Copies of this chain bind each other. A is one copy, B any other.
Amino acid sequence: MKQIALGIDIGGTNTAFGLIDEDGTLLFETSLPTKSYEIPENLVDAIYALLKDRPDFNQLIGIGIGAPNGNVFTGNIEFAPNLIWKGVVPIVQLFQDTFKVPAVLANDANAAAIGEHLFGSAKDLKDFVTITLGTGLGSGIFINGELLVGHNGFAGEYGHIRVIQNGRTCGCGRNGCLETYASSTGVVRSIAEFESPNKYKSALLRKDHVNAQEVFNEAEAGDVFASEIVEYTAAVLGSALADFAAFSDPKAYILFGGIAQAGVPFAERVQFHLEANALKIFQQKIEVRVSALHDKNAAVLGTAASLFWHLHKNSVN
């Protein structure tokens, strides 16, 4: 019988969770409204109640949890502004007490990298970097088959490497960070901040609220300014990834997230700009791949994958 992990992605609005077997097959998935549970114990109980009578429940070997302000070292959620639970929540302990199996708290960028390695586009790779293009830009680094964690647990913050001098202001208080350009937020900022003679003919300027997906849709429909934004985003990202190759010398970058998965062309343009900017020793050696995981359940897969990864590491070491 196959081993099963429970992957849980706690968000401010919803908590998605699912059961994954060791091949990455999603056996069950649903979500609950986080805010409806006044104390975290109630959410834990509600998830337990939904799963405990399944015939495969005895195959459950552990739980991977993703949460805002989760401290992977302590297993606690710490002062999360987007949750109604205040202060320090010992979330790993709560799940372990109820489910009687090991639980781990997973960093979302690292969970994405582990998910790609176990179940996605990086199954065949030992040296790769995942780039998650969401509200910000997250990255997870594998080196020689091992996840890079770093001295303080903060390795792989590629979104906050500055790539444009005196560039866009970033939430971190500095300027020109990669994620102010290469992220869904960055794409939307480009509508106001990218200059082009084609700008004022664009459909994008006639809309009230535009999200990054619409920019990509308009580009595909032939809007010249929208296409320029897509190309600019690919150029900034590709040029940055060319330079970042000088860190870990990866075999591939795996792009994940709505805009990266909008279609193959974006990844192709990133690859083009990576090649155009790469040091000679890195030219034609680095692939840009699109994630094989789907946006909808990637967080659940990633957190479950983190649990498998954690147990496997502890059994071999």
B-binding residues in A (CB < 8 A): 126-127, 141, 143-144, 148-158, 160-162, 164-165, 172-174, 243-244, 246-251, 277, 279-282, 285
Interface pair B151/A246, CB less than 8 Å apart: no
Whether the Cβ atoms of B158 and A246 lie closer than 8 Å is yes
Contact (Cβ within 8 A) A249 B161: no
Per a CB cutoff under 8 Å, which of B143, B161, B165 touches A143? Answer: B143
Contacts of A154 in B (CB 8 A): 246, 249, 281-282
Q: For residue A247, which residues in chain B have a CB less than 8 angstroms away from its CB? A: 141, 155-156, 158, 161, 244, 247-248
Q: What residues of B have a CB within 8 angstroms of the CB of A160 in the complex?
A: 243, 246, 279
CA distance A127 to B154 in the complex (A): 12
- Top 6 nearest A-B pairs by Cβ distance? A150-B249, A157-B246, A127-B151, A155-B249, A247-B247, A151-B251
Known contacts A279-B174, A282-B154: A165-B162 contact under CB 8 Å: no
Q: Which residue of B lies closest to A154 (CB)?
A: B249
Instruction: Indicate if the CB atoms of B248 and A155 lie closer than 8 Å.
Output: yes
A65–chain B nearest beta-carbon distance, Å: 21
Q: Are A246 and B156 in contact (CB under 8 A)?
A: yes
**How far apart are the CA atoms of A161 and B243 in the complex, in Å?**
5
Cα A141 to Cα B279 in complex, Å, equals 19
With A162-B243, A174-B277 as contacts: A127 and B150 at CB distance below 8 Å: yes
Q: List 28 A-B contacts (CB under 8 A).
A: A126-B151, A141-B247, A144-B149, A148-B248, A149-B249, A150-B249, A151-B251, A152-B249, A152-B282, A154-B282, A155-B246, A155-B247, A155-B249, A156-B247, A156-B249, A157-B279, A158-B246, A158-B247, A160-B246, A161-B244, A164-B165, A172-B279, A172-B280, A173-B280, A174-B277, A174-B279, A244-B247, A247-B248
CB A279 to nearest CB in B, in angstroms, measures 5
Given contacts A157-B279, A160-B243, A173-B280, 10 further A-B contacts (CB under 8 A): A126-B151, A127-B150, A127-B151, A143-B143, A151-B249, A151-B251, A156-B249, A161-B243, A174-B279, A247-B248
